[in-house]
Structure 1
């Protein structure tokens, strides 16, 4: 009898190893693989971080320019930039899963890869908690569910702590500046708007549906935010952030509430977003302490 069950069990092993896996991506499409992915390509820098968080970093065979974290990813081959992919390089790496960025990659490029028969997972987490869900889903596709589930749980625990600490604090009207020429900010659906709300802030352009709208200096002056936060392009505070000091009518300028957060911590949809969120929450709390006695804002 034992021999019989052993034959049955070991006979099933090949089937178990090749059992298909499937998840629904952020576009609503079902991504189904015949077996967990072993050759993954990511088409945006932030997606690399999510793959590593899900425990699948060793399965990454290609990514795009500016993928810089964690350190190991610097050795991974590049397939162009997220907005100018080298499709031939992608195909040459023979991926069994391509993870694309819905609002960053060219739809035409993604569709071409799909037509070539490559499995595509579309990523677009617009809420902070969506990052945890994405870690779990990539873990399913990569066969690293245990690691991914643990990482997602840790992320949500930390997120809950921030929500509890800052969610009920007095509202701070906030302008988030992506760039200065042209002057760009974030709209309602951008994940940073979600961070601002979590910290007890209000995005002064949160009524705009465009993900990264252009605005005018006059519109910012009219909104008169209490806080201005910028990230720029690198680890250094952008010089143009301090140009708002010349606008002496701005509450943010009057109270010196001009803050910087490194872009990798706040503009990437990754687990490190909570590091940026902590900084943003602290900046808004600093602004609250600068309010004149009895002032609402």
Structure 2
């Protein structure tokens, strides 16, 4: 073959092959919080979520219609209440999950069914957020999985709402010493948790120290010694709060500076995901009510 003819044929072959090669879909690869790496040839179309914050994240990223089942505690947005509810941590309905034929199951690292689901041939991705940085990381992971171009747009909205909430805090509330009880055992929200980070953004001081972890179990006596000026607590844990032994010496109890959140508000406050901005707004409202000038 003459050199010029060979060059023409090579160019023609490259032009024919090039577009097909360029259009080949790139594989999606996700490394989860347990170190497992999974690949997909296209974004999953049938998704099961077994953690409310993951459910809300999928929906915030515009893929609510791809959900085919959720855990029993997922209740936002309203549309997910029509989906099959697949139990909780102790009674996950594995057989039902299998019957839903999901392309992926999103759950927490603490889930007890991860290995079983994998043994049944299901693709599992474990993700969980405990801090602001974790929330951003999970948004990126799920955004990559769903092939969302700008998953961090959700984070920018969260950050803007938290900033607006901080601007609305009465000056006299800033620097207040706060105890947030997440469970009456009692477990508290520490400063390294997403809840604690929101409190810090609002200018509050936490009675829990960073080395104690995100959600430490503490003694009632610790709270008495710490003498918080404000207590935040869910209604389900608040019964008998003012009658706890020795707690009448706590400034927050004495001055009746206690924010009691109903079940719906507690859900918003306790979920590290797209509604963290709304959670900051709830805390800010509490502060305005208790520290507004008479």
Which TM bucket (shorter chain)? 0.7 to 0.9
- Following superposition, the deviation at residue 62 of structure 1 comes to 1.3
CA distance in 2, matches of 1:44, 1:155: 19
- Following superposition, the deviation at residue 42 of structure 1 comes to 0.5
Matched residue, 1:100: 107
CA distance in 2, matches of 1:5, 1:179: 65
CA distance in 1, matches of 2:81, 2:117: 24
Matched residue, 1:250: 250
- Is the 2:71–2:86 Cα contact (8 Å) retained in structure 1? yes
- Following superposition, the deviation at residue 6 of structure 1 comes to 9.5
Q: Structure 1-normalised TM-score?
A: 0.79
- Following superposition, the deviation at residue 7 of structure 1 comes to 6.3
Distance change in 2, residues 1:163/1:5 (3 Å)? farther
CA distance in 1, matches of 2:242, 2:18: 68
Deviation digits for residues 224-275 of structure 1 (CA, Å, limit 9, x no counterpart):
1011000244xxx943445469843211022221002321110011211221
Matched residue of 1:248: which SS?
A: helix
Q: Structure 2-normalised TM-score?
A: 0.79
Matched residue, 1:283: 286
Matched residue, 2:175: 171
Counterparts of residues 128-207 of structure 1 (less than 5 Å):
128-146=132-150, 148-162=151-165, 170-180=174-184, 182-207=185-210
CA distance in 1, matches of 2:15, 2:166: 52
CA distance in 2, matches of 1:218, 1:52: 42
- Is the 1:126–1:190 Cα contact (8 Å) retained in structure 2? yes
Matched residue of 2:43: which SS?
A: coil
Structure 1: give runs of 5+ residues left out of the alignment: 291-297
CA RMSD in angstroms comes to 3.4
Higher Rg: 2
Matched residue, 1:110: 114
Structure 2: give runs of 5+ residues left out of the alignment: 1-11
Distance change in 2, residues 1:158/1:186 (3 Å)? closer
Matched residue, 1:216: 219
Matched residue, 1:15: 24
Bigger drift between 69-78 and 243-252 goes to: 243-252
- Following superposition, the deviation at residue 186 of structure 1 comes to 2.7
Matched residue, 1:295: none
Matched residue of 1:85: which SS?
A: coil
1:263 pairs with 2:266: yes
CA distance in 1, matches of 2:161, 2:14: 45
- Is the 1:129–1:156 Cα contact (8 Å) retained in structure 2? no
